[in-house]
């Protein structure tokens, strides 16, 4: 290992103590920003060249050196470095390649605007990756919704059998959540897409650079408007964690439903073998570990979000080292999303439905009691009274072990009322927008597929760097 390249030794008479370095260094994790750090540095060098701080030859040499540093890293070099952080690593490696000229790269720049820029570049691609992956899951759900638009199953409130719905309708509820997530991702990405580079340490840069041109060269929409805010703002990081935590909580709810649907008790669906896990002790087990992990990770993501908010809430302007702690939660959460989303997508696509069991469960008397009250209401009985009559009949049927719909008229219920109630009609009647009628679900599934395709297309048309 060569001696460590330091960016700030001049005013010190002793080198950093081992105990300081162990606590202070961020290289062990901020190396994940190396591509962004190099991209930001290349843009900075080019801008220094354009405004005459560097000669054209100097700028070219620095840019080439930076590209070589990244290529060497990508080829596996540098893993044993003891750099303080990614910025000192890159500058140190640049120095090894181009000599003292490397020392000109940091003219007019600070690690404060540098790291803020790296982070925004990283967040932009993290937002894009999340957007793409969650739309893949939404597309898988929309496909199943259209295939299963007419597959009945019990719908629940308070975990009690409530009214019948179709499996397609269940799928589309999650599609709505995911489309809102996709929207939030895009809005947050748009807000994040401003360039802090050129803010200097806190007060701005003394160089005559064109910050808007610099911002555009990195694919940003504009330069940040305040240098003090530019170096200390981590809203985009918080928004990423918020969007991720909310999205994971949607996945967690879906996981919870699917754990129940695939339980031995409900038995409405079975996990594909390749996406289930076994027990080391109980030979019969087929476990939904994947779904349980999605549920668990949602909880941890909420913690990451509140953790970062707590780090930020009392920070005085401008840069404080506390801000170094913004990175690991982001990296962890992205790691979770990268693994969880493709797994959930495969599971949704591969879930095997037990349609017979779903249908039988959906014809349970309990699920048709509302339907009986509605039948009375249709012939003019005030709904409140109809509810009372149907409730009494349900209680009597339960006590006697008879079915709610057995064709024996009772107090206030005619044979015609009973004849008009069945599962197919109960579903078909709910045909208003947003309802579970198979025709409506089929149409909603087609619309959802179009909305998803439009969101995918809009994302593909955007510059990704
Ligand atoms: N590793 C630091 C971070 O992630 C880089 C910025 C350091 N700036 C400073 N003034 N110490 O925030």
> Does 212 fall in a domain?
no
- Mean pLDDT of the residues in the chain: 96
> Does 325 fall in a domain?
yes
Give yes or no: residues 166 and 183 share one domain: yes
What is the model's pLDDT at position 9? 83
pLDDT digits (tens, 9 = 90+) for 399-430: 999 899 988 888 899 999 999 999 999 999 99
> Does 370 fall in a domain?
yes
Q: Which of 24, 321, 322 most suits a substitution to test ligand 1, by most atoms within 8 Å of the C-beta?
A: 321
Which residue lies with its CA nearest to atom 2 of ligand 1? 324
pLDDT digits (tens, 9 = 90+) for 199-249: 999 999 999 999 999 999 999 999 999 999 999 999 999 999 999 999 999
Average pLDDT on 121-128 reads 98
> Does 320 fall in a domain?
yes
Does residue 2 carry a pLDDT above 80? Answer: no
DSSP letters spanning 309-370:
HHHHTTPPSS--GGGGGGHHHHHHHHHHHHHHHHHHHHHHHHPEE-HHHHHHHHT-HHHHHH
Q: With 0-12 CB in 10 A as exposed, 13-18 as middle and 19+ as buried, what is 115?
A: buried
Give yes or no: residues 49 and 182 share one domain: no
Give yes or no: residues 305 and 188 share one domain: yes
* Parent domain of 391: 364-429
Which residue lies with its CA nearest to atom 4 of ligand 1? 324
Domain stops at, among 47, 73, 107:
107
> Does 1 fall in a domain?
no
Cα 359 vs. chain centroid, distance in angstroms?
A: 34
> Does 334 fall in a domain?
yes
Give yes or no: residues 187 and 87 share one domain: no
Q: Which of 29, 111, 121, 331 most suits a substitution to test ligand 1, by most atoms within 8 Å of the C-beta?
A: 111
Total structural domains in the chain? 3
Give yes or no: residues 157 and 120 share one domain: yes
How sure is the predictor about 1, in pLDDT bands with cuts at 50, 70 and 90? low
Ligand 1 cavity residues, CB under 6 Å:
26, 30, 85, 111-112, 115, 319, 321, 323-324
Phi and psi for 219 in degrees, rounded to 5?
80, 10
pTM to 2 decimal places: 0.96
Does residue 135 carry a pLDDT above 70? Answer: yes
């Amino acid at each position: 290992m060569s001696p460590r390249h330091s960016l700030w030794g001049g005013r010190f008479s002793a080198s950093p103590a081992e105990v300081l370095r162990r606590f202070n260094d961020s290289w062990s994790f901020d190396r994940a920003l190396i591509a962004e750090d190099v991209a930001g540095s290349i843009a900075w060098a080019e801008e220094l060249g354009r405004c005459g701080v560097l000669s054209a030859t100097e700028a070219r040499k620095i840019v080439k050196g930076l590209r070589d540093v990244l290529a060497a890293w990508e080829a596996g070099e540098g893993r044993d470095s003891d750099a303080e952080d990614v910025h000192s690593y890159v500058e140190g490696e640049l120095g090894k390649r181009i000599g003292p000229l490397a020392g000109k790269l940091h003219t007019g720049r600070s690690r404060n605007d540098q790291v803020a820029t790296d982070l925004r570049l990283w967040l932009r691609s993290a937002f894009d990756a999340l957007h793409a992956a969650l739309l893949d899951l939404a597309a898988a759900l929309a496909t199943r919704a259209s295939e299963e638009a007419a597959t009945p199953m019990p719908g629940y409130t308070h975990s009690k059998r409530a009214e019948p719905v179709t499996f397609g309708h269940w799928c589309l509820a999650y599609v709505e959540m995911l489309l809102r997530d996709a929207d939030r991702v895009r809005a947050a990405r748009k807000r994040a897409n401003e360039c802090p580079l050129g803010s200097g340490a806190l007060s701005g840069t003394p160089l005559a650079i064109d910050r808007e041109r610099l911002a555009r060269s990195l694919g940003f929409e504009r330069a940040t408007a305040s240098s003090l805010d530019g170096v200390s703002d981590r809203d985009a990081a918080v928004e990423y964690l918020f969007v991720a935590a909310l999205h994971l909580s949607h996945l967690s709810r879906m996981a919870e439903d699917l754990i129940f649907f695939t339980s031995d008790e409900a038995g409405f669906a079975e996990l594909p073998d390749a996406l289930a896990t076994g027990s080391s002790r109980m030979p019969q087990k087929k476990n939904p570990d994947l779904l349980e992990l999605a549920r668990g990770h949602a909880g941890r993501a909420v913690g990451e979000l509140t953790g970062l908010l707590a780090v930020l809430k009392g920070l005085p302007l401008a840069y404080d080292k506390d801000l170094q702690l913004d990175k690991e939660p982001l990296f962890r959460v992205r790691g979770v999303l990268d693994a969880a989303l493709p797994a959930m997508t495969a599971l949704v696509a591969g879930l095997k439905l037990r349609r017979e069991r779903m249908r039988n469960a959906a014809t349970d008397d309990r699920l048709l009691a509302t339907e009986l009250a509605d039948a009375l209401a249709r012939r003019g009985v005030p709904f409140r009274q109809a509810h009372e009559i149907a409730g009494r009949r349900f209680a009597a049927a339960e006590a006697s072990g008879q079915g709610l719909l057995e064709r024996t008229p009772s107090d206030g219920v005619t044979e015609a009322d009973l004849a008009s109630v069945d599962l197919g009609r109960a579903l078909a009647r709910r045909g208003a927008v947003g309802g579970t009628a198979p025709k409506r679900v089929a149409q909603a599934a087609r619309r959802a597929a179009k909305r998803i395709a439009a969101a995918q297309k809009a994302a593909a048309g955007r510059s990704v760097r």
